[in-house]
Homo-oligomer: A and B are copies of this chain.
Amino acid sequence: MTNIDRPYCETLDAQDALASLRTEFHLPTGMIYLDGNSLGAQPKAAFERARHVIQEEWGNDLIKSWNKAGWFDLPSRLGNLLAPLIGAKAEEVVITDSTSINLFKAIAAALHLQAQKSDAETRKVIITERSNFPTDIYMAEGLTKWLDRGYRLHLIDSPDELASAIKHDTALVMLTHVNYRTGALHDMAKITVLAHAQGALCLWDLAHSAGAVEVDLHQANADFAVGCCYKYLNGGPGAPAFIWVPQRHQAQFHHPLTGWWGHAAPFAMQASFTATPDIRRALCGTQPIVSLAMIESGLTIFGKTTMAAVRQKSLALTDLFIQLVEARCARHQLGLVTPRHHAQRGSHVSFTHAHAYAVIQALIARGVVGDYREPGIMRFGFTPLYTSYAEVWDAVEILQEILDQKTYDANIQRHTVT
């Protein structure tokens, strides 16, 4: 990698068609932010959007804004803006609640669909990965334990097990498209084929892929999807999440969280629940409007490029990072956890190190913000909309200095963030 230097990285930035989009974001001076996979940076437009909602819509128009400012329609309107980024059609996505709550709805709906089949009594297994993001596993656990109808979780340790694990007893295959720790990317289309061949349904958590990798839910023939708006979509801290239900499943999308926002006539104030026939049946209760509205500022920026361009730059950034780290930090026993193959890589890169937590703290102190994940993983996210090639260079330079000069605190305890 001796032919790569900072001027070369600057040349890549100069040639980068996405470089101008960086100006859409507020990025703190002196910080190289490699954690957009955890909390996306702030679109400059988000503050003005929030100001308008708070001062004009809430402050001046008050209750009228539910109709006048379109608050009621925000979950659908924003869902329609998001849809093209994940290969969904209009009126198939709503933005609402949290990813955890949306997982619950989708798992419940999948089990309900399977319970209608003639082999329902023997189709009781939900397959997921032991390394899936914990809340995905917990929500499935909570639902199946509570239902108490013989459903059980089968946790696999490697995607290689999927082909044999998915059988005629599989009700649902529930996977996170890009693994939150390793950055490994599943082949959505291939796995969905495996699942459907055995009569199983497929639910995808797109938390680390929406806005980061190309997703085509319809091409993959996926059944359900959920995901997060505060990571690569830059919707703001804890922004409500999304849920996708394709047209073909909507009439049969049944879940127990039947709140008034999912009613066919929410303002008729009827004393029993009738689900609306459309995607809005995935809604439950009143949504946090200010946090919800700001999501639009993040989504709008994606309208200025394509997911193909985003993906191309994402791979170039992660390639560059891997190459530079391996060349410059070769003697420091870093272990690459993230797959080298493009087809298997999301938009973050993880390395193991004996002092992973201490090194991350040292990096943060020097302005390079990645994060630590148990056990022993340093995680670095690359956000094509605002990460530059020169930043990748600088981040690795600082990492090398910290490792060469041992300026991390080797005595620091591996720390579980609270």
Contacts and interface: CB of A to CB of B under 8 A. Distances in A.
Given A97-B97, A155-B271, A289 B236 contact: yes
Contact of A101 (B47, B55, B257): B257
Contacts of A284: 98, 100-101
Contacts of A265: 416
A363 to B, nearest CB: 13
A41 interface: yes
Nearest to A41: B62
Given A272-B141, A273-B142, A104 B287 contact: no
A122 interface: no
A165 interface: no
Contact of A238 (B41, B64, B139, B289): B289
A40 to B, nearest CB: 9
Interface size class of A (residues with CB under 8 A): 35 or more
Interface string A86-120: 00000000000111110010001000000000000
Given A258-B139, A285-B99, A35 B54 contact: no
Contacts of A38: 63
Contact of A270 (B63, B97, B134, B371): B134
A379 to B, nearest CB: 11
Interface string A35-62: 1001101100011001101110111111
Oligomer copy total: 2
Given A289-B236, A291-B289, A416-B265, A101 B108 contact: no
Contacts of A7: none
A290 interface: yes
A42 B67 contact: no
A405 B145 CA distance: 63
A308 to B, nearest CB: 28
Given A54-B50, A63-B369, A134-B269, A108 B146 contact: yes
Given A54-B47, A97-B101, A290-B294, A142 B258 contact: yes
A267 B58 CA distance: 36
A138 to B, nearest CB: 4
B267 A98 contact: no
Per CB-CB distance, the 3 closest pairs between chain A and chain B, nearest first, are A98-B285, A100-B285, A288-B291
